[in-house]
Amino acid sequence: MRYLFIILLFILSLPSCFQEEEMIPPHEQGELEEGVAPMGSLYENQIYFDLNDKRQVASNDISVWDLSFESSAGGWVIRLNSAKFMLAGNSFDTTFSAILTQEDLNMKFDKSDGNPDSTAIGPWFDFSDDTVWSYRQVYLVNRGSDEVGEPLGFKKVQFDIAGDDFIVRFAEPDNSGDTTVQIVRDPSMDRTYFSFENGMMDIAPKSDLWSLLFTKYTTMLVTDEGEDYPYLVVGVLLNPNGVEAALDTIHNFMDLNSDDLTLLEFTKQADVIGYDWKYYNFDNGVYTIVPDMNYVIRDRDGYFYKLRFVDFYNDQGVKGSPTFEFVRL
């Protein structure tokens, strides 16, 4: 009897010994919905879309910001606005007045998969004795171009740290306009955005309010000769906070259901949806949607959505309006 009591006590205690998995409430499959991301004929708008709310939740002109700074406590990643084809090169010199030219530096862009270890700015800081400190190396930043292709010039930039905040010193390559600003992080946001002209910018919605970002972005392509080259593309990036996706090319979109999810390989790679759901038909001079490309997205709310693209043009026949259908599974 004593042993029976011990065994029963052990069984009853099991739920407290293991962390419960996040459970999705029972629900019916949603209705077929249509979404549109009006990026503009020059792809001048970045569009934030939320699958749960079935709507666009924010937008901004691609050229209004330059840098973003990680906002979470203890995060120090700095990213370029890749929608402008921005590049940065490290001089590995702490002398801010030094003359820097693009030809003398290894200019890099942020990798489009969102990996924090593959940014152009790279490891600009280090930790020692529980303290974070900056190498204070000076970068030359190529600000890329605006929506009509006009070059936006260069800035010399040096990053430093003050408590939990970023310090940014920047100037023109000839050392004119020397300015220092403090970037105060907002823990409720994924990133804090900054413009060399306008300072801190209110750009993205809070990280729990959006799923997909429709935008230009820089990525690496390969020539017919097998050579890598960076290129500006138009596509979709995932919210880095809790959103993941997988590509399905096997099932008919309308037949794809929750029973098929175990066959898919999900990833949080930012550009998993990317740009190649469309291609440019040189014979007809138009963009065409690639058939049989279905995406399944696990949103931050834990629900799964299937999505496919159906058009790249608006009702007036103007390019730059990705149109897609999606269903909550």
Say which residue the tokens 């014979």 belong to.
283
The C-alpha atoms of residue 114 and residue 119 are separated, in whole angstroms, by 8
Residue 161 CB: number of other CB atoms within 10 A? 16
Residue 225 confidence class, pLDDT cut points 50, 70, 90 = confident
Question: What amino acid is encoded at 237 in this protein?
Answer: L
- Find, among 105, 108, 167, 106, the residue nearest to 134 by Cα: 167
Greater model confidence, 20 or 47: 47
Q: What is the pLDDT of residue 129?
A: 79
Q: How much of the chain is helix, strand and coil, in % rounded to 5?
A: 10, 40, 50
pLDDT tens, residue by residue, 70-91: 998 889 999 999 999 999 999 9
- In which band, very low, low, confident or very high, does the pLDDT at 164 lie, cut at 50, 70 and 90? very high
Return the structure tokens found at 212.
Answer: 């997909």
Out of 45-54, 216-225, 320-329, least confident range? 216-225
Strands (E), 67-198: 67-70, 78-80, 87-90, 125-128, 131-134, 138-142, 154-162, 165-171, 179-183, 191-195
DSSP structure string for 295-316: EEEE-TTS-EEEEEEEEEE-TT
Which pLDDT does position 23 carry in this prediction?
53
Average pLDDT value over all residues in the chain: 91
At 81 the three-state DSSP class reads coil
**Each residue of 4-27: pLDDT tens digit?**
343 334 334 433 332 333 455 556
In the chain, where the domains are located = 33-60+210-328, 66-202
With 50 as the cut, is the pLDDT of residue 125 above it? yes
Q: Alpha carbon 11 to chain centroid distance?
A: 45
Q: Which residue has the higher pLDDT, 226 or 157?
A: 157
For tokens 């079935």, the residue is: 54
Q: What is the mean pLDDT of residues 207-221?
A: 95
Query: What's the confidence (pLDDT) of residue 229?
Result: 87
Query: What does residue 83 show for φ and ψ, rounded to 5 degrees?
Result: -70, -15
The three-class DSSP label of residue 62 is: helix
- Please give the DSSP secondary-structure letter assigned to residue 105: S
Token pair belonging to 25: 């409430």
Report which of 277, 310, 304, 319 is spatially closest to residue 35, judged by C-alpha positions.
310
Where is average pLDDT lowest: 1-15, 44-58, 88-102, 182-196? 1-15
Instruction: Report the predicted TM-score, pTM, of the whole model to 2 decimal places.
Output: 0.89
Contact by Cβ (8 Å): 249, 272 = no
Q: Region 182-195: what's the mean pLDDT?
A: 92
Q: What is the average pLDDT across 135-162?
A: 97
Q: What is the pLDDT of residue 226?
A: 83
Of residues 38 and 128, which shows the higher confidence score? 38
